[in-house]
A and B are shown apart, each in its own frame.
Chain A
Amino acid sequence: MLVRSRMTRDVITAPPTMTLAEAVAVTRRHRIRHLPVVQNGRLVGVASDRDLRLAIPPQGSMPEEERQRLLETTRVGDVMVKDVITISPDAPVEEAAALLAEHKIGCLPVLMDGQLVGILSETDVLHAFVELFRANGPSSRIEVRMPDRPGELARVVRLIGIDFKINITGMIVPPLSEGEALAIIHLQTLDPRNLIEALEKLGYQAGWPSLA
């Protein structure tokens, strides 16, 4: 799953000369939280709704006329973040997720050959993850705990697919404690009871709905 398949392609951008008043109006109209700032076809910064909000003194903190004047005279280029973290359209979604988490940011402009070709928000990444965790077709979900060594997962999968002839519609193997592995497996069956019994007979811990 690559960034290019999850990003928004029609990016709403602003020139650095746009006033704060306009920028606030644009983010509200399009219901977006990030405004990539583009000058001469190049990305020069990003203004988030938080950047815009913090740049404007709250209502009541100064005479309203003066506040309005500030909104009309301050430019996006003055408040934007210039040091922008970006990503390539060919990066996998998990890399985007790691960047968002590491830098505590809400979006990634997507650049190809220096050109802005899209934007990926944290919501886009979340939607992608929701899909990744769901199964491909009607399924039950079980969890299997096994020793973390070569061949164990293969043995489990073999039991499911070859011995029980059950289609695996999704699988996630999140890291667990030292020496142990966990597999969350989606199975195309309404009744995983016999399989669970067989897994336990082989010495695995299996849970449905969940391991304690």
Chain B
Amino acid sequence: MADTALIWDDVLANYSFGDSHPLNPRRLELTVELIREMGLVGDAARPILAPRPATDAELLAVHSPEYVEAVKRLSEPGADEREGLRWGLGTQDTPVVPGMHEAASMVAGATLVAAEAVMTGRVRRAFSPAGGLHHAGRARASGFCIYNDLAVAIRWIQREFGARVLYIDYDAHHGDGVQEIFYEDPEVLTVSFHESGVYLFPGTGFIDELGAGDGYGYAVNVPLDAHTEDDSWREAFTTLIPLLADAFRPDVIVLQNGCDGHVLDPLTHLRATTGLFEDLVRVVCDVADRHCDGRIVATGGGGYAVHEVVPRAWTLVWATLCGTPAPDTIPERFLQKVRRESGVDVPGTLRDPRDAFPPWPRRREVEATNAQTVNSVRRRVLPLLTGWGLAF
């Protein structure tokens, strides 16, 4: 069995809202280029699989027919933007662009290919860096996301395999779309670590959002204080993820790897370094090995420091999923090219050097707030998952 698959084709760069939009597909191209340049993909154990568009039926398992129809209509050249507003389209964040249905279907299809490869046993893990569009709702585009590829893949896994899915999301923004779609479903445990919604989009993901109906207890939110750094974030993650996984016992893990919690990301106030993402993925790999024969369907997500952060962060994510620690040094040829292209002094190593960034002055308060959040989550959620308060 091949070990880990990368889902990629250049066509995935078509999911774009124009040159001035922060979600820049260049970050995907550079990620794949760096992975290739470092010799981390392309052998028998690490194949590249091509995406395919998601079918209407696959999209409709999550999205409403009216919404999918509207996206299709608005994809035609010369469509009337104003019609989009009731669906969250034609906004600053998610403008109407020709061909967006095809582009978004291809992203959803890429994550479906990842799910298929993992669930059929063709590979143990798969990474679809173009995926991770976690803000899209059942009938609503939001925050750069049109179709929710994660939810489409999770639904497909449920329908084809009846599997219990643990969804883990460490994007700096709350995974509100995925949470909402599975809010009443006890077969999907959604867990989102993110910067607190007090300031940051989408303004949700507080610890009292716990699921509803049969799914009560099956939505978990860990809002981190703005300015959270590696150690505090790692501590929260390594405390909670194994406990939650042990209580839920998933058949497969779907992992959203938004890297916009990095200190250099222009859109959030978290202060992670690239090395943290490697650590988080390793925790998830351990949990997957223990509970579900290692099965992980991984995607990208947010990440707006296109040149300085995303390719480095996701190369680390990929190498960790493959189980082969990546060497630290970035090939000179790639580095020169990216520095020339961006005019930015891109760091020369995958992992940010220790002390690359000054410590946040209010570190102690941030750590104390996060520790309190972790405690509250344990107290409130674990009893719901385990049936009784024994876990605490």
Contacts and interface: CB of A to CB of B under 8 A. Distances in A.
Nearest to A133: B198
Nearest to A141: B199
Contact of B198 (A166, A189, A209): A209
A154 interface: no
Contact of B199 (A137, A138, A188, A208): A208
B116 interface: no
A165 B202 CA distance: 18
B143 interface: yes
What does DSSP make chain A's interface, helix, strand, loop or mixed? loop
Contacts of A166: 91-92
A167 interface: yes
Contact of B173 (A188, A190, A193): A190
Given A193-B266, A209-B198, A139 B203 contact: yes
Contacts of B204: 138
A167 B85 CA distance: 10
Interface string A115-144: 000000000000000000011011111000
Contacts of A208: 199
Nearest to A142: B199
A210 interface: yes
A188 B267 contact: no
Nearest to A136: B203
Contacts of A193: 266-267
Given A190-B143, A191-B22, A209-B269, A140 B93 contact: no
Interface in B287-345: none
User: Looking at chain B, what size class is its interface with the partner chain?
Assistant: 20 to 34
Interface string A158-181: 000000111100000000000000
Contacts of A135: 203
Given A134-B203, A186-B203, A141 B198 contact: yes
A167 B108 CA distance: 27
B143 A138 contact: yes
Interface in B12-27: 22
A136 B198 CA distance: 13
A134 B209 CA distance: 14
B146 to A, nearest CB: 14
Interface string A81-114: 0000000000000000000000000000000000
A164 B92 contact: yes
Contacts of B173: 190
Contacts of B92: 164-166, 189, 191
A199 to B, nearest CB: 15
Nearest to A166: B92
Given A190-B135, A209-B198, A209-B226, 13 more contacts: A138-B135, A139-B201, A140-B203, A141-B200, A164-B92, A165-B92, A186-B203, A188-B93, A189-B93, A190-B93, A191-B22, A193-B266, A209-B199
